[in-house]
């Protein structure tokens, strides 16, 4: 795990950047478990004071594991360092002044680089290790977890994203709390009881954190139920749903904008620009309406607390009809990124019937001088240049027809009855051909088995 060292972090005030809720869909009737003002208070309460809003000149230390279970076989230390640099550069006013890769053979040891070094290669630096490094070097030290969490903070817009981040911070707060109390114990003051309550300072703080955790989880569950309701409404309207997934900054949002023409989408060339699941309507060659779901991007070695916190927002994926896996084929780690995405999908327990629908898209082919597809059934495109999109739409339509069981039918329709209007509402009308009788027409439709069953029941005598 990279260790990011801030060489001259200006101690600014708490990060109070205003984030507007882009969606007014956070209530489900009645009062929220946590109101909007309290969400913002939670969100800004525990910003690490060392981060602030000032300039940061950063020196990055990355461990190169030589062998063992921690060794990365699908990437290199140089490419992992490049990703660490990209993470830091995503943050405004953060610049990388230098970087170093240091070899290690024993990443499982507390001091992994051997005697005299202080780095600890775990999912995140422990508070004692962080303090040790800061005292040894006289600079602020941020681990990968803290940097990624700070990027998430900068990009959070909706109530749900802020709550997910606040939930992901709780394990970090618990760890720091234990460390602070341990320091008090060493000074003889950590076991004092609070105002005769029978609780120690540690117990009070742990209880407050637990109450905070339960409250956040209850509010997120309410928002999850609202998402379920919205998903049910989409299903009732018989709109097929396509989840667009991929490694962070692979071009998912740019692709959805190109497929839908949604001017409200503003893609950014940065990591984790999308934190909230959003849904956008597009049209396939048959004129069938399809809903594209934009999801949070993936990252290698993403701390599991963040995966756990945001897994609920990926719930929509398991209920979709088809998945588009977008790959930045110009990226030197594109193979490793693919493995990472597929592993996350596996961990989400995506059903096999949905995994079998995956359309792999090789995006950004315009950045490659001589693109040569090395994998079968992949579609080369450039979302930015809008190259290859018609082939993709056709592929999506074929996949939707297969996964949903929709069928193309030619129906004899009485134009004097409500039949045609009903078909326009409940199915996709492709063509209306008038017959010899002015009151009759042949209508070509794409319709689901369920909708066709309703149609026959309503108009079986016509």
> Is the CB of residue 291 less than 8 Å from the CB of residue 317?
no
> Is the CB of residue 47 less than 8 Å from the CB of residue 14?
yes
| CATH code for the domain in which residue 71 is found | 3.40.50
In a domain, 310, yes or no: yes
In a domain, 212, yes or no: no
Is residue 114 a known part of a binding site? Answer: no
Buried b (16+ CB within 10 A) or exposed e, 130-153: bebbbeeeebbbbbbbbbbbbbbb
Is residue 46 a known part of a binding site? Answer: no
> Is the CB of residue 163 less than 8 Å from the CB of residue 216?
yes
Q: Are residues 367 and 437 in the same domain?
A: no
Is residue 76 a known part of a binding site? Answer: no
Is residue 384 a known part of a binding site? Answer: yes
The answer for residues whose C-beta is within 8 angstroms of residue 350's C-beta and 6 or more apart is 317, 318, 323
| Residue positions counted in the chain | 462
Helices (H), 76-188: 77-90, 127-137, 144-155, 159-186
Q: Are residues 376 and 336 in the same domain?
A: yes
Which parts of the chain register pLDDT below 70?
Answer: 1-33, 42-54, 66-74, 104-127, 133, 179-199, 201, 229-237, 266-277, 300-313, 436, 461-462
Q: Are residues 118 and 146 in the same domain?
A: yes
Is residue 84 a known part of a binding site? Answer: no
Question: What are the distances in angstroms from CA 387 to CA 124, 365, 366, 377?
Answer: 41, 9, 9, 17
How far is Cα of residue 21 from the mean position of the Cα atoms in its chain? 17
> Is the CB of residue 3 less than 8 Å from the CB of residue 141?
yes
Q: Are residues 149 and 254 in the same domain?
A: no
What is the predicted pLDDT for the residue at 395? 95
End-of-domain residue from the set 137, 154, 171:
154
Is residue 59 a known part of a binding site? Answer: no
In a domain, 113, yes or no: yes
Which residue range is the domain that position 72 belongs to? 3-17+53-154
Q: Are residues 285 and 397 in the same domain?
A: yes
DSSP character at residue 66: -
Distance from C-alpha of 337 to C-alpha of 331, rounded to nearest angstrom? 9
Question: Measured at the alpha carbon of residue 74, what is the angle toward residues 73 and 80, in degrees to the nearest 5?
Answer: 95
Question: Looking at the 3D structure of the chain, how many domains does it have?
Answer: 3
Is residue 462 a known part of a binding site? Answer: no
What is the predicted pLDDT for the residue at 126? 67
Q: Are residues 269 and 150 in the same domain?
A: no
What is the predicted pLDDT for the residue at 92? 77
Q: DSSP 3-state assignment of 134?
A: helix
Q: DSSP 3-state assignment of 11?
A: coil
Is residue 365 a known part of a binding site? Answer: yes
> Is the CB of residue 82 less than 8 Å from the CB of residue 96?
no
Q: Are residues 433 and 306 in the same domain?
A: no
Is residue 181 a known part of a binding site? Answer: no
Q: Are strands 359-363 and 379-380 parallel, antiparallel or unpaired?
A: parallel
Question: What are the distances in angstroms from CA 21 to CA 34, 37, 251?
Answer: 15, 12, 23
Is residue 250 a known part of a binding site? Answer: yes
Q: Are residues 357 and 443 in the same domain?
A: no
What is the predicted pLDDT for the residue at 398? 93
Is residue 86 a known part of a binding site? Answer: no
Is residue 382 a known part of a binding site? Answer: yes
Is residue 64 a known part of a binding site? Answer: no
Is residue 295 a known part of a binding site? Answer: yes
In a domain, 220, yes or no: no
| CATH code for the domain in which residue 441 is found | 3.30.70
Is residue 366 a known part of a binding site? Answer: yes
Q: Are residues 60 and 107 in the same domain?
A: yes
Distance from C-alpha of 158 to C-alpha of 152, rounded to nearest angstrom? 12
Is residue 292 a known part of a binding site? Answer: no
Is residue 151 a known part of a binding site? Answer: no
Q: Are residues 314 and 301 in the same domain?
A: yes
Distance from C-alpha of 52 to C-alpha of 32, rounded to nearest angstrom? 30
> Is the CB of residue 249 less than 8 Å from the CB of residue 326?
no
Is residue 276 a known part of a binding site? Answer: yes
Q: Are residues 285 and 329 in the same domain?
A: yes
End-of-domain residue from the set 383, 403, 423:
403
In a domain, 196, yes or no: no
> Is the CB of residue 281 less than 8 Å from the CB of residue 291?
yes
In a domain, 351, yes or no: yes
What is the predicted pLDDT for the residue at 219? 84
Is residue 442 a known part of a binding site? Answer: no
Distance from C-alpha of 267 to C-alpha of 254, rounded to nearest angstrom? 5
3-state helix, strand, coil in the chain (%, to 5): 40, 20, 40
Q: Are residues 147 and 13 in the same domain?
A: yes
Is residue 294 a known part of a binding site? Answer: yes
Is residue 374 a known part of a binding site? Answer: no
In a domain, 389, yes or no: yes
| CATH code for the domain in which residue 292 is found | 3.40.50.300
End-of-domain residue from the set 91, 124, 154:
154
What is the predicted pLDDT for the residue at 242? 93
Distance from C-alpha of 170 to C-alpha of 16, rounded to nearest angstrom? 20
In a domain, 190, yes or no: no
Is residue 122 a known part of a binding site? Answer: no
What is the predicted pLDDT for the residue at 266? 67
Is residue 3 a known part of a binding site? Answer: no
Q: What is the pLDDT of residues 376-414, one digit of tens each?
A: 889 999 999 999 999 999 999 999 999 988 888 999 888
Is residue 444 a known part of a binding site? Answer: no
Distance separating the N- and C-terminal Cα atoms of the chain? 69
């Amino acid at each position: 795990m990279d260790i990011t060292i801030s060489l001259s972090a200006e101690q600014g005030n708490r990060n109070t950047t205003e984030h507007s809720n882009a969606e007014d869909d956070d209530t489900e009737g009645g009062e929220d478990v946590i109101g909007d003002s309290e969400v913002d208070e939670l969100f800004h309460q525990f910003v690490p004071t060392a981060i602030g809003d000032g300039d940061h000149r950063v020196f990055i230390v990355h461990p190169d594991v030589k062998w063992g279970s921690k060794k990365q076989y699908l990437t290199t230390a140089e490419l992992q360092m490049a990703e660490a640099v990209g993470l830091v550069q995503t943050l405004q006013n953060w610049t990388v002044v230098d970087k170093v890769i240091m070899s290690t053979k024993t990443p499982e040891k507390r001091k992994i680089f051997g005697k005299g070094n202080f780095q600890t290669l775990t999912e995140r630096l422990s508070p004692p290790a962080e303090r040790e490094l800061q005292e040894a070097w006289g600079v602020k030290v941020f681990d990968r977890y803290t940097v990624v969490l700070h990027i998430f903070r900068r990009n959070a817009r909706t109530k749900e994203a802020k709550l997910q981040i606040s939930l992901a911070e709780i394990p970090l707060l618990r760890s720091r709390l234990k460390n602070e109390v341990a320091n008090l114990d060493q000074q003889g003051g950590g076991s004092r009881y609070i105002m005769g309550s029978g609780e120690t300072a540690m117990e009070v703080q742990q209880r407050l954190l637990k109450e905070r955790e339960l409250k956040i989880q209850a509010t997120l569950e309410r928002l999850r139920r609202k998402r379920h309701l919205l998903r049910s409404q989409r299903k009732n309207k018989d709109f097929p749903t396509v989840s667009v997934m991929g490694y962070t900054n692979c071009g998912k949002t740019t692709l959805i904008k190109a497929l839908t023409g949604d001017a409200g989408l503003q893609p950014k060339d940065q990591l984790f620009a999308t934190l909230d699941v959003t849904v956008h309507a597009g049209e396939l060659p048959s004129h069938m309406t399809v809903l594209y779901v934009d999801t949070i991007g993936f990252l290698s070695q993403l701390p599991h607390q963040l995966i756990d916190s945001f897994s609920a927002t990926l719930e929509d994926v398991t209920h979709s009809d088809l998945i588009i896996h977008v790959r930045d084929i110009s990226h030197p780690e594109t193979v490793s990124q693919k493995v990472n995405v597929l592993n996350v999908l596996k961990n989400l327990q995506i059903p096999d019937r949905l995994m079998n629908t995956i359309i792999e898209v090789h995006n950004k082919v315009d950045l490659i001088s001589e693109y040569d597809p090395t994998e079968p059934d992949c579609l080369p495109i450039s979302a930015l240049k809008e190259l290859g999109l018609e082939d993709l739409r056709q592929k999506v339509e074929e996949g939707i027809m297969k996964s949903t069981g929709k069928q193309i039918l030619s129906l004899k329709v009485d134009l004097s009855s409500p039949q045609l209007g009903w078909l326009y509402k409940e199915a996709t009308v492709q063509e209306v051909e008038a017959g010899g009788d002015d009151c009759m027409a042949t209508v070509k439709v794409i319709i689901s088995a369920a909708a066709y069953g309703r149609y026959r029941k309503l108009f079986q005598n016509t």
